[in-house]
Structure 1
Amino acid sequence: MSEYLLEMRGITKSFSGVMALDGIDLRVRAGECVGLCGENGAGKSTMMKVLSAVYPYGTWGGVITWEGRELQTASIKESEAAGIVIIHQELMLIPQLSVAENIFLGREPRVLGGMIDFDRMFVDAAKLLASLRMGYINVAMPVSNYAGGEQQLIEIAKALSKNAKLLILDEPTSSLTKNETAILLRLVKDLKARGTACVYISHKLEEIVEIADTVTVIRDGKFVGDAPIAELTTSDIIRMMVGREMNNLFPREEHPIGDVVFEAIGITCIDPENSARKRVDNVSFTLRHGEILGIAGLVGAGRTELVSALFGAYRGPHSGEVRLDGKPINVRTPREAVKHGLCMVPEDRKAHGIVPGLGVGYNITLSVLDDFAQGGLINEAHEFSNIGDAIKKLRIKTASPLLPISNLSGGNQQKAVISKMLEPKPRVLILDEPTRGVDVGAKYEIYKLMFSLVREGMSIIMVSSELPEVMGISDRVLVIGEGELRGDFINDDTLTQERILTAAITPLLRAA
């Protein structure tokens, strides 16, 4: 009998004649965590959809062996019955239902007559969570009462309630805090110790190094190789992912910085749910021509609220003044901001950056449709010429400009959103977490693009939760803490991560 719980051999999958998977292999032992790595668009999620029968048997080629027998599942239900459960990047919970109802949704215990046995369901849910060191969660409370990290853990509990032998985690920490991530990684280690196998997909290689036993790398739909994590360095994994050496993850380039082009004066944002609380409190700063201004701070510090107010997208009361070239501009809506030459790539691309069912190309041109209008009609030839140039410039991987953007990988969706915001040719570009959920290769391309843009004279404001990214890319760093501006630092040899973090947690610290 094979030593492997799961073997995928020579897996192929195509869409409209375009090969998404081309002979990929994957092997997983019981109690083993395999880190599945690859750039955005490499085929990781497609491969897991094959395994979990989102793409049923017969729609793909190759062989899957599960517990020594060939697996031919025709539905997700059959796959879960076999013990293979996938947790998608977007949580599949119903906020209004209780924790227990979400865990046993569709599999509720019943009493005679078919009524739901709520007492038993609550007891079973509480026992399950206690076994996962999550006994503090009240199973009778609505899921919406819990933070994103706790909801992710509830999603895992839901999967384990289905007697999962293999758990597939697709970018599970993309929206979690550092503390929430630590709890999730501890849980994965506990599951390994209990014999549950895991396939862990993440762009955060430090997580892969911490919990994976083996790493499998795929690139452009092809199998590159696998090896025990003990035999690999982070540089090895990156080289396998991108097919080239990347000795410098932050390709910092010298570029001229000119005079002040943009000013924010006394920006204040009131919490829309609590009028007594200020999310941003009287923040002022300047931005120079050709400058990359990084904004750092802890989660919840008010960074996103600040840039949303600048872009006219903050949903609560806010005040302050915005100046471009020394002249006040009135920005009440994102549309007005774009007209003034101020564009923004939002933090949450799925909620605020894309129209999921719309084609990739149409998403890109949404910000400049008026440019293609003639007599009330869109000149499609002109529009598609523009789309082709945009896709080529940012190297967006898509089978067709008409393919719904929701079919693209996260990194390619992000490139499309950036492309959309570059179409109006802004003077100032705001990037809120521009590399969140993006692989190392796509990050590198985004950094190179940023430096190309500032060399051409654009000015960039970048919000990032990753301090190495802030320090690797920015010319100057603003630090926000509890809605206040707590630091304004030139990014020179004297600036350290410790200095930034100290400013973030220390009230009223100013640059010397």
Structure 2
Amino acid sequence: MSVPLIRFDCVSKQFHAVKALSSVSFDVRQGEFHALCGENGAGKSTLMKILSGVIGDYEGQIELAGKPLRLRGTRDAEELGINIIHQELNLVGELSVAANIFLGRELRTGLGFIDDREMERQSARIFQQLDCRIDPQALVGSLRIGDQQLVEIAKALSQGLTNRPAVASAARLGEKNDPKAQSPSDHASEATPRGSVPETTAHAPILIMDEPTSALTESEVERLFRIIGRLQSQGVTIVYISHKMDEIFQHADRITILRDGQVVKTLDRTATHPREVTHLMVGRAIEASDVGKNRTAGDEVLRVENLSLPWRGHVRQWRLKDVNLSVRRGEVLGVAGLMGAGRTELLECLFGASSESPQGRMVLDGRDVQFSHPDEALSAGISLVTEDRKRYGIFTELTVRDHITLSSLDDVAAMGFVGQAAERKAADDSISALRVKTAGREASIMSLSGGNQQKCIIARALRTRPKLLLLDDPTRGIDVGAKAEIYRLIDELCGQELAIIITSSELPELITVSDRIVVLCEGRVTAEFSRGQFTEQKLMEAATALAT
């Protein structure tokens, strides 16, 4: 009797108060190309980290070849032929290609020395099987990103392609967890059809790929999929995470859609179409809201023309390319896009905080500007609330008062000394205006909830009296109630003729607060919508560069 190669049964995972996965159940067949789709935060990567042993603490059960699977770490997964290629490559640039492929499991001579020659020989054999020409002796840091991606694939497959009996190992691991588990020899079968697991000790590697083409050119993508096709013909199972509908509908056998940590549906690729998948990805009901209904936009505050941000050493060359946009007083301009689309990089360019000097033209209140440091942007009337609150927004040893007044100490200082009474009043005014829930201005910032910490950071930005406020995913990691209060605050600020540019990984949020939305895909603007035109499906299609 055939069984799925992988079966998820009511798998759940919670990080503190956030439920990342909730009773996820579906299966993956051997040798298939199984795509996982969903918005950012849907739970795709968390689930794959569980399958690959990165995360070991979860509820529910996973079966591999019909046997219970519990991994003690990534080494267990690798021994079973389960390998993951993360979106961010995990290679050591100062080491050779061969050294990276065998990193942590180096081959050794009879005398115990590292056997570089044998590792290079085996690496060359793997590349030959992958039909690509990469020198095993070359330093990884000298390779183009596309070739580095292939090194990651070779590293992941180096165990499986050397004929390790993955399914047999899975059965043994099952025996550790289940004393009654039968050995592979108890399930003999003469044939191994696609969609079933070989019920013998045959090797059946699994390759998990998380957005593997995000850094590849078209020709490199074509080569990658030729390799994937060849691997499938050898029995390798592919679990593929991607937002790119064209890739999925060219190559996937089945598609599982996750939304808010739950499985929405598993579909045969031939029985569905891209618009159905994008609808299932974003099909949440949106609560009625009066936010933004009575806004009136004023004069233009900012205009950006052909803004481009170089990406040195990267095959794409540009993090942003020829971006054009504008925002007016009393208006909220939303910026949509998937992970890596360039949302944060855009705001950093506008704030003078980009790693490289951007190209193009910025016009602020009718005057050409170019910022080389955030101080210059602040002085010109632009303020930024960063995406990563904990890393870039909070100083754990400081108080609520410190956080609110940090960027505007000149306003409460005289002759170079901070006036304590003036600083206390400024902090109290902001606490009252933004309804910050705190034991007092002298309370530690760490004693506040995430939502109230975020209000303090927004208060700090507002005390600089900006004409343009940049909000980078401002409700990330905060509860629903705090989100609603920030939406109300945004509406009030627009009523005071402040111009706002906001990014968000949540499409319903952008639809709720924005008057217009521009959509980025791989650093380029692919669409612009006004209120009344945008829907979640249109935004997702533009974010995946799907033609409407």
1:283-432 mapped onto 2 (5 Å cutoff):
287=326, 289=328, 311-313=351-353, 323-327=363-367, 331-342=371-382, 370=406, 374=423, 380=445, 385=452, 387=454, 396-398=476-478
Deviation at 1:34, TM superposition (A): 1.0
Q: What amino acid sits opposite 2:144 in the alignment?
A: A
Partner deviation per Cα, 1:454-503 (whole Å, 9 max, x = no partner): 5xxxxx99765476x5234499xxxxxxxxxxxxxxxxxxxxx9xxxxxx
Per the alignment, residue 223 of structure 2 pairs with 183
1:493 maps to none
Which amino acid is 1:152 matched to? Q
- For each residue in 1:233-258, what CA deviation from the matched residue of structure 2 results, as whole angstroms up to 9, or x when unmatched? 12222232223599xxxxxx9x9876
* Matches for 1:46-61 after TM superposition, within 5 Å: 46-56=46-56, 59-61=57-59
Contact (CA 8 Å) 2:96, 2:136: kept in 1 or not? Answer: yes
Distance 2:523 2:217 in 1: 11
Mapped to 1, the partners of 2:51 and 2:359 lie a distance apart of 51
User: Counterpart in 2 of 1:508?
Assistant: none
Q: Could you say if the C-alpha distance between residues 286 and 103 of structure 1 is closer, same or farther in structure 2, counting changes exceeding 3 Å?
A: closer
Structure 2 alignment gaps of length 5 or more: 161-203, 287-292, 336-342, 410-422, 428-440, 459-470, 532-541, 543-548
For 1:179 and 1:71, the matched residues in 2 are separated by 38
Indicate if the aligned counterparts of 2:22 and 2:261 stay in contact, CA closer than 8 A: yes
**Could you tell me whether the CA contact under 8 Å between 1:34 and 1:199 is conserved in 2?**
yes
In the alignment, residue 131 of structure 1 is paired with which amino acid?
Q
Match of 2:272 in 1: 232
Q: Is the contact made by 1:262 and 1:288 (CA closer than 8 Å) also made in structure 2?
A: yes
Q: Tell me if structure 1 keeps the 8 A contact 2:30–2:235.
A: yes
Q: Give the root-mean-square deviation of aligned CA atoms.
A: 5.1
Partner of 2:15: 15
The answer on 1:192 being equivalent to 2:195 is no
Letter of the structure 2 residue corresponding to residue 110 of structure 1: R
Counterparts of 1:223 and 1:238, CA distance in 2? 14
Number of positions where the alignment pairs a residue of Structure 1 with one of Structure 2: 414
Aligned-pair identity in percent equals 33
What corresponds to 2:526 in structure 1? 470
C-alpha deviation, 1:361, in angstroms: 11
Residue of structure 1 aligned with 2:121, choices 115, 120, 123:
123
Greater alpha carbon shift after TM alignment, 376-385 vs 174-183: 376-385
Matched letter for residue 396 of structure 1: R
Q: CA deviation at 1:133?
A: 1.9
Distance 1:358 1:342 in 2: 16
SS in 2 for 1:471: strand
The aligned runs of 1:186-265 (5 Å cut-off) are 186-244=226-284, 261-262=301-302
Aligned AA for 2:6? L
Contact 1:52 1:85 in 2 (8 A): yes
1:80-159 mapped onto 2 (5 Å cutoff): 80-135=78-133, 137-159=134-156
Alpha carbons 1:322, 1:328 under 8 Å: kept = yes
Q: 1:193: Cα distance to partner? A: 1.9
Deviates more, 1:212-221 or 1:8-17: 8-17
Q: Distance in 1 between matches of 2:117 and 2:357?
A: 45
Is the 2:332–2:501 contact (alpha carbons within 8 Å) kept by the matching residues of 1?
Answer: no
1:6 positional shift: 1.1
Kindly name which structure, 1 or 2, has the bigger radius of gyration based on alpha carbons: 2
How far does residue 87 in structure 1 lie from its aligned partner after superposition? Answer: 1.4
Give, in angstroms, the shift of residue 331 of structure 1. 2.9
* Aligned-partner SS, 2:94: coil
- Per the alignment, do residues 316 and 18 of structure 1 end up closer, same or farther by CA in structure 2, a change over 3 Å counting? closer
1:2 aligns to what?
2
| Distance in 2 between residues matched to 1:321 and 1:244, nearest whole Å | 38
Partner Cα distance (1:181, 1:209) in 2: 14
For 2:132, give the aligned amino acid: M
Could you say if the C-alpha distance between residues 193 and 330 of structure 1 is closer, same or farther in structure 2, counting changes exceeding 3 Å?
closer
Counterpart-to-counterpart distance in 1, 2:452 and 2:39: 28
Structure 2 counterpart of 1:407: none
- With over 3 angstroms needed to count, the CA separation of the structure-2 counterparts of 1:371 and 1:14, relative to structure 1, is same
Asked if structure 2 preserves the Cα contact closer than 8 Å seen for 1:338 and 1:426, the reply is no
Confirm or deny: 8 A CA contact 1:166 1:197 kept in the other structure. Answer: yes
Tell me the alpha carbon deviations over residues 399-426 of structure 1, each in whole angstroms, 9 at most, x when there is no partner.
Answer: 7999xxxxxxxxx9xx9xxx9xx99x99
The 8 Å contact of residues 311 and 343 in structure 1, kept in 2 or not, is answered as yes
C-alpha change, 1:155 and 1:261, in structure 2 (3 Å) is same
| Distance change >3 Å, CA 259–CA 123, structure 1 → 2 | same
Provide closer, same or farther for how the CA distance between residues 52 and 369 of structure 1 changes in structure 2, counting only shifts above 3 A.
Answer: farther
Shift of 1:326: 3.5
CA distance 1:224–1:198, change in 2 (3 Å): same
Q: TM-score, normalised by structure 1?
A: 0.64
Structure 2 distance, partners of 1:41, 1:464, is 18
Displacement after TM superposition at 1:214 (Å): 0.8
Rounded Cα–Cα distance in structure 2 between residues aligned with 1:122 and 1:234? 43
**What is the aligned partner in structure 2 of residue 409 from structure 1?**
none
* Cα offset, 1:210, TM superposition: 1.8
The 1-side partners of 2:221 and 2:348 are apart by 26
2:120–2:137 CA contact under 8 A, matched in 1: yes
- Distance across 2 between alignment mates of 1:142 and 1:171: 24
What is the Cα deviation at residue 398 of structure 1? 5.0
Paired with 2:325 and 2:17, the residues of 1 have a C-alpha distance of 51
CA deviation after TM superposition for structure 1 residue 394, in Å: 5.9
Aligned to 1:479: none
SS at match of 1:133: coil
Q: Is the deviation greater in 20-29 or in 173-182? A: 173-182
Kindly provide the amino acid, as one letter, of the partner of residue 471 in structure 1.
Answer: A
- Looking at structure 1, the residues matched to 33 and 73 of structure 2 have their Cα atoms a distance apart, in angstroms, of 24
Please report how far the alpha carbon of residue 161 of structure 1 lies from its aligned counterpart in structure 2 after TM superposition: 0.5
Q: What's the TM-score, normalizing by structure 2?
A: 0.61
